[in-house]
Chains A and B, each alone.
Chain A
């Protein structure tokens, strides 16, 4: 046992001291923070930095001449009677930022228009123009049918649909599909990334020992199984360290950023937390919205998510790490690892691709099966967890995963201890199968 400790210590220390570990540790949170910060920055920019835009309106239908409202960000200038070509020239010379052209129509209500601009037209502007026109046209149509638009706006109602999940005891809980959707995908991607990345490190470490020819020196001191498990556990501790550091650093960055931006613009900050919501307008998020966000945050069962993430991530990693260790023992150099890594990466790919199906139907038969099959369950179950999964399913899934891990460790250890001493031989699956029977 003491020897396994030594191996774990070496595996851990050599990896944590590497420059690439440091870079990853700092880059990860920066990327994560960027996911928060960039939308916020964009929102801030569209609100303040875009100066007054001047839009020339050439409305040959004369329907919309009074419809467009100017404010401090946009100024609409009616150019009645001007030919559109000369207005386009003015856009080119910079008198106007863009020109809106509504072609003439007879009898019918116009439904098409063109915007001419040198630069990219902001999304916001496009939305504004088309919504104003739409509104105007609707009003006109209503009036033509003899309906007063006033009445229409008076009867307009917005329905607030709450989704309540109940359990057998009658407890009700409000759910927010959008948030669960995002959370499920993010968790699945995290598990996937960690398995591929750190599983790959195990494989690389094993094949490095083999190529370096240090392997025989080591296994004359420790059992191959001890070496394999020491490496797998050592790397898993590196993964956990990385994960914890990411969480801490992301927290620090987030708090730092909040202090920087948040004090002046508290409403924007709350927009940032709701990544899933599109930030298309700079409308002030009112108090109700903030309430909403708090409610959403409270609705998420972070305890269950964190515990199950750790359990599924660790077990999933262990399962795949044993397979990667076995593969690492088979390859002399990295070029011929392909034929052996493929069978391992396929279930991971299946799981990650199907997670887009699972988020739409988390309790469907396929979703349940994928979250039970040990090779896909670490990813598929994480997609389902934010939606709420019956405890018995989680327990069965974890037990299956753990049992498969034990079985695979036994198989992998047999392949590993023969593979690490095998040089310059072209290996087939048939040959490897024989190794399982060696004493």
Chain B
């Protein structure tokens, strides 16, 4: 179990500031999303956590301890730009990468066999990497990222290059790792996977955190109080007539001829429902929360305009 505290971390490059007094608290056993447009500073932050670069100022603590060389064995990192030695055999390479993380050879071999079977690539152990398809290489890379049982996992665009079936396999593996106690930092542009996986997120733009918190809380904050009602009636005209009497209702035809959709821009829906009951059958009623995609675009654009 590990929690990460990023405190006032700043990193400047020759021509721009990559991170500007960044503060993030990542609780243990959680999937934490790191979002932001290209060039926002996500990769720099991830590289600082991996001690590939050092911050100009500020500090990173893991379980209260300052980040140091000994933490390297506790972190598993799947970079966005990832590859393998093409001419090396798959198994040999996986063992090499595990050994670099401090796993003993025999132990690495045992663990790798298990994971290779789980990801259905056991037969490829003695093949050269260049003979593997891209998806298979991605699987090998994912396995080598987690083979040393790290408490902290950092995934940068983990789903790129996976077909839906394998993406699902990966998703389940990530959730399983979290349930076993790992703290997971997920950097991605795939908003659907953020909604599915992430417990908390930080949205970064121009090196600054512009939105932070639990996914559900953020959605609640951005709630525009929309409700969606679908009514089944052979004659939709009374529904349209009803819609005209309110000024905050939008009525439209769905794909089915006998179903009509009402969008209510208000949290107070009881009265409307009572009146609809007399017109037809209510098939669906749901609260519409903004998608992370909408929130992302809205927040980044409003910040870009402000600056």
Contacts and interface: CB of A to CB of B under 8 A. Distances in A.
The judgment on whether A and B are partners is yes
Interface of A: 3, 6-7, 10, 14, 209, 212-214, 216-222, 224, 421, 423, 431, 434, 439
8 contacts: A14-B85, A213-B81, A217-B77, A217-B78, A217-B141, A218-B97, A224-B52, A421-B52
B79 A220 contact: yes
Contacts of A220: 50-52, 72, 75, 77, 79
Interface string B46-63: 010011101010000000
Nearest to B96: A10
Given A209-B85, A439-B56, 8 more contacts: A212-B85, A213-B83, A214-B83, A217-B77, A220-B52, A222-B100, A224-B52, A439-B54
Interface in B99-145: 99-101, 141, 144
Residue of A209, A212, A431 with highest tally of chain B CB at under 10 A = A212
Contacts of A219: 50, 52
Interface of B: 14, 47, 50-52, 54, 56, 72, 75, 77-79, 81-88, 96-97, 99-101, 141, 144
Contacts of B141: 217
B127 to A, nearest CB: 16
Contacts of A10: 96
Contact of B83 (A212, A221, A224, A439): A212
A431 B84 CA distance: 29
Given A212-B86, A214-B82, A221 B52 contact: no
Nearest to A431: B14
B109 to A, nearest CB: 15
Nearest to A227: B100
B101 A221 contact: yes
B77 to A, nearest CB: 4
B82 A6 contact: no
B82 A216 contact: yes
What DSSP secondary structure best describes chain B's contact surface?
Answer: loop
Nearest to B84: A214
A341 B96 CA distance: 31
A217 B80 CA distance: 10
A130 B139 CA distance: 80
A218 B77 CA distance: 10
A439 B77 CA distance: 22
A217 B96 CA distance: 12
Contacts of B72: 220-221
A-B pairs, 3 with minimum CB distance: A213-B83, A221-B100, A216-B79
A256 to B, nearest CB: 35
B100 A216 contact: no
A221 to B, nearest CB: 4
Contacts of A431: 14
Nearest to A222: B100
A431 to B, nearest CB: 8
Contacts of B83: 212-214, 217
A217 B99 contact: no
A7 B50 CA distance: 19
Contacts of B54: 439
Given A14-B88, A219-B52, A220-B52, A423 B100 contact: no
A217 B79 contact: yes
B101 A212 contact: no
Q: Which one of B47, B78, B96, B141 has the highest number of Cβ atoms from chain A below 10 Å of its Cβ? A: B96
B138 to A, nearest CB: 12
A434 B79 contact: no
Contacts of B56: 439
A6 B97 CA distance: 10
B82 A217 contact: yes
A335 B52 CA distance: 28
Nearest to B98: A221
A7 B100 CA distance: 8
Contacts of B81: 213, 216, 423
A146 B220 CA distance: 129
A40 B94 CA distance: 53
Nearest to B75: A220
Nearest to B56: A439
A219 B54 CA distance: 13
- Of the candidates A209, A218, A220, the one having the most CB atoms from chain B within 10 angstroms of its own CB is A220
B126 to A, nearest CB: 14
A213 B100 contact: no
Nearest to B14: A434
Contacts of A222: 100
A214 B85 CA distance: 7
A292 B124 CA distance: 65
A162 to B, nearest CB: 57
Given A14-B87, A212-B84, A216-B79, A6 B52 contact: no
Contacts of A212: 83-86
B97 A221 contact: yes
Contacts of B47: 421
A439 B48 CA distance: 12
Contacts of A434: 14
Contacts of A7: 100
Contacts of B97: 217-218, 221
Contacts of B88: 14
A303 to B, nearest CB: 40
B61 to A, nearest CB: 19
Nearest to B79: A216
